[in-house]
Structure 1
Amino acid sequence: MRGSVFVEPTIILSILGGVIVLLLLVGAPIRPIRWIGQGLIKVMIGALLLFFLNAFGTMINIHVPINLMTSSISGFLGIPGVLALVIIQTYIV
């Protein structure tokens, strides 16, 4: 199909395979990969905190949407970040 935005899956898999082989041959720097991994873990923990907040907050009408921004804030800032999101959601938005 000409002019389509759709890309064949084989092309995407070939590019990903090439990048993996290149990283295996050249070697990836460990420190940036570790930072990315720690950041992703914090975002997932933030999403989990927001999930529990929404699950138990329905009793008192608290709901904070779970998206990348709110998960990042709650993951990196922890409980104070979750409380800040609740205050922002309750009084500002």
Structure 2
Amino acid sequence: MIGRFRGGLAPRPPVVGDATAKAFEAALRDLLGLAEREFEQCLRVAPDYEQAYLNLAQLEVALGHKDRARALLQEFHQRHPENKPVEEALRQLGP
């Protein structure tokens, strides 16, 4: 496939206009919001599911909600203080 393009490189992608970029960002926020609701539903059904806490915390960080991520992990860690992955995630979040 590389040989298909002159010089072995793919053509430069078109410049994305402001309206398209804003629409993409809005769609991405909607998808992240949907994922957030799905993880929250998962935790209502399985409140001790470690991976759901870790994933939701990671999503909260991506959404710019670092304090919410920390609170989620601390909540889980209080019930499961021996849990190393959650302890490590808290350490990585910092103060």
- TM category (shorter chain) comes to 0.3 to 0.5
Higher relative contact order (CA 8 A, sep 6+): 1
Structure 1 length-normalised TM: 0.33
Q: TM-score, normalised by structure 2?
A: 0.32
